[in-house]
Each structure stands twice: as C-alpha cells, then as structure tokens.
Structure 1
Amino acid sequence: MTTEPGLRESKKQETRQLISDCATRLFLEQGFEQTTIAEIATAARVAKKTVTNYFPRKEDLALDHHERFTDGLALAVTGRAPGESPLTALERSIRTALADHSPVVGFTGPQFARMVADSPTLGARLRELHDLREDALASALADGVPDSAPAGAPRTAAALMAAADRLLFRRIQELTLAGRTDDEIEATLAPEADHVLASLTAALGDHPVAARP
C-alpha cells in the first residue's frame, strides 16, 4: 500500500511540476523579465509563497533542471568505466549528448533559446551555472588525484574541460537562434566538436589528473 509520506511526496512533485509548467508557458509567451511571480501563482492556482517555497529564485523557474546541468560533467567523470580516463569519459559524454540532442549541452529549442538570450537575468544565471558546473567537475577530478600532481591540477584540468563544453553549448545556442533544426545543428557541430575535443586532448593528453585511468 502507498504510505502517507509517499502520497505527500507525490503531491509535492505534482505541485512543483505544475508551477514549473505554468511558469515556462508564461515566460515563453511574455518574456522572462516581464512575467511576475504573482502571475505564475495565479496561473498555477497556488499562493505566491508556495511558488517561492518550491523555487526560491525566479531564474530557477526557467532553468528548472539546473542541478542536472551543474552535476553533468562531474557525473561523466565519476561514472566512467574502469580503466577509462576522465578526459576520455568527458569526450564520450559530450559526443553522446550531441547525438541525443540533449538540452544539457544546449539543445533547448528556438523559443527557449530566444527567451534566455533576451533576458539579462537568465544570461547571468546561466553563466553562474556554467561556473558551478566547472566547480563540480574540479571536485570530481580531485578525488583520487595522484600525490605527485600539483595542487592546482584538478582545477586546471576542469577549467580546460569546462571551457570546451561551454564553447559547444554557446555554439548550439547560436545555431538554434539562427533557425537551424537540431539535426542540422548536429551535422554542423560534428566537425567543430572534433576540432574542439582534439584541441582538448592535445592540451590534456598527459595531464596527471585528466589522463589518469
């Protein structure tokens, strides 16, 4: 039988999703900056305090899956196959995300991409999330780092890996705003990704953190 705590948790998730869906619809219709928390609460038929309880920051209503985004690079490294280097795992993760047209690497669709591009607030928040993504990767790389590695080695490797990831993200957003379909973006990005990842490998090929098994 379903327990009462389970029912409460299910209800919370339903309410959270309802608020998120209503917010996304209003943001796309009106723009992020122009939409108020009060309007979102009215659309979701909840109190304003309920909205802010679930989403303390207005930006989190638009970038609802930010935890998945900030943890993505770190999880690619910590979940790598036995004997696989962090660099190889990251490259594989990026290529898979491109093939899957994953929102995590920038495949957000033209409406969403335009909404973010038109909002200084969301632009600033997205840059912050990229920084947090890099920080999480640096922490993951620091786990099990060789004793002989310089103290700043995890941070150096993370900065270069995250820069490559951020470059591809921005390129996908740029092509999305230019009206390209996801398939066209993937085809365009394939050789560009090859170049970026080859440059990353050249920079980190013998790095004591990124290249270790």
Structure 2
Amino acid sequence: MTEPTGLRERKKQRTRAAISDAAIELFLAHGFDQVSVAQVAEAAEVSRRTLFAYFPTKESLVVHRFADHETESARVVRARPDGRTPLEALREHFLDGLDRRDPITGLNDEPGVRALYELIFATPALVARMLEFNQTAEAALTEALTETAGVEVGEARVAAAAIVAVLWTLARENLAAVVAGRPADEVFPEAEAAAQEAFRLLDGGFGSLGGRSGVANATERERHG
C-alpha cells in the first residue's frame, strides 16, 4: 500500500529536523571542525547517504535554519502595500523584527539562539556560507526592486547591496552586544536607534526608493505615540 503523501512529507520533515538537531548539538559541544559528517549521521541514526540527501554540505546542517530569510527582503518589497516605498517597507519589517526579538535581527538572548550564532561567527566556513546567503539576498532584492519599484537595474543592484549590507551589519552589532552579556531588552533602544539612523542614510542615498525625506523620523514618532 502506498504511503499517503502527507504522512511521507511529515516523516521527511522529522528526519530532517532530527539530523539537524543532532548536528548542531555535536557542533556546539565539540566545535564545527572537530565533528565529522559520519559522526553526525551516527548520532542521528541515519546513513551518510541519507544525510547528504537532506543536507548536501556540512555547512548546510547549520545554516539551513536561516534559509527562510535568504530572500526575505525581496518578499517584503514585493508584498508591500500600495503607496509604501521599498525602504519604508523594509524599515518597518526590520523594526518589527526587533520588537519581536526575531533571531535574524541579532537581538535575541535565548541561550540556544545565542550559542548558534556564536558557533557560526567562530567558524570561517559557516561565515562564508552566510555571506553566500547575502549574495542570494542581493540578487533577489535587485529583481524585486526593478520589477516593483521601477528602478533601473544598475541602481537596484547598488541599492540591494547596500540594504543587505546594512541589515547584516545591524544584526551583527546587536548580536555582539548580546554575546557580551547584555540582555536583549537593554540593547533594544540602541538597536532601534541604529536601525532608524541606518535607514535614514539609505533614504538619503536612494531617494527614489525611500519616497519622502524625513520618513525615518516620522516612522519613529508613530511607533512611540
């Protein structure tokens, strides 16, 4: 009897999660470079062949947890309401992420999240893979800007590179503060102010994407009543 598609997919998801959980537990305990793929497969109780069917590289065992964010900025730009500029939409999305302590903003002091980020930034191979994510993010955002904001490809490419770099820098600065032992709630006001200033600078450099001048200050006033 053929297994129902839904059940089969759920089994795949559980296997994928079990492999990733086993890998990250080992990496956190012993270090990324000190753990082999064979050891991960043994801990997850799967074969090496099965492991590679789910995760094509050792690095993907870790960074796949950020895969949903790889083209997030492009999705935000495409889904923005009528009348909202790309920079307004991206600014509001990032500020909302700070409010929610979204791990992708770096402003999350949960031990597991902090440990995972520390692992990534202490491992050159994982940092390199995250930078590849940024390249994909830039390409997707460039396409979204040209298709939805009427921006020429050249300007869109430069703007996308700047936006992705700003988001990456903000997240790393927030994470550095958290790793230093400061609670996320304490860091939040500084993180919010830094984000507002960063988007103000982006707005000044890419006016066609930001709309009106002073939008960052207006947004801040709205957020604080």
TM-score, structure 1 normalization: 0.89
CA contact (8 A) 1:19 1:44 kept: yes
Letter in 2 for 1:105: T
**Aligned equivalents of 2:107, 2:133: Cα separation in 1:** 16
CA contact (8 A) 2:87 2:199 kept: no
> Which stretch shows the higher mean deviation, 196-205 or 9-18?
196-205
Alignment partner for residue 143 of structure 1, among 135, 144, 147? 147
CA contact (8 A) 2:22 2:43 kept: yes
Q: CA deviation at 1:107?
A: 4.0
1:64 corresponds in structure 2 to: 64
**Aligned equivalents of 2:131, 2:155: Cα separation in 1:** 23
1:156 corresponds in structure 2 to: 158
Deviations 1:20-50, CA, capped at 9 Å, x for gaps: 1111111111111111111111111111111
| Residue 53 of structure 1 pairs with residue 92 of structure 2 | no
| Residue 111 of structure 1 pairs with residue 115 of structure 2 | yes
**Aligned equivalents of 1:98, 1:130: Cα separation in 2:** 20
**Aligned equivalents of 1:111, 1:151: Cα separation in 2:** 39
Q: Note the residue ranges of structure 1 that are not aligned, 5 or more in a row.
A: none
Letter in 2 for 1:158: A
Q: CA deviation at 1:59?
A: 0.9
Q: Note the residue ranges of structure 2 that are not aligned, 5 or more in a row.
A: 212-225
Letter in 2 for 1:192: A
Aligned pair in 2 of structure 1 residues 50, 79: CA closer, same or farther (>3 Å)? same
Aligned length: 206
CA contact (8 A) 2:146 2:153 kept: no
| Residue 192 of structure 1 pairs with residue 205 of structure 2 | no
Which has the bigger relative contact order, CA under 8 A and spacing at least 6?
1
CA RMSD of aligned residues (A): 1.9
**Aligned equivalents of 1:22, 1:141: Cα separation in 2:** 39
Deviations 1:103-148, CA, capped at 9 Å, x for gaps: 22224633122211221111111111122111111111121443xx
| Residue 73 of structure 1 pairs with residue 77 of structure 2 | no
Kindly, what percent of the aligned residue pairs are identical? 33
**Aligned equivalents of 1:19, 1:107: Cα separation in 2:** 27
Aligned pair in 2 of structure 1 residues 154, 58: CA closer, same or farther (>3 Å)? same
Q: How does 1:1-213 map to 2 (within 5 A)?
A: 4-107=4-107, 109-146=113-150, 149-205=151-207, 207=208, 210-211=209-210
2:221 corresponds in structure 1 to: none
Deviations 1:158-204, CA, capped at 9 Å, x for gaps: 12221221220221222122122222232321221221111111112
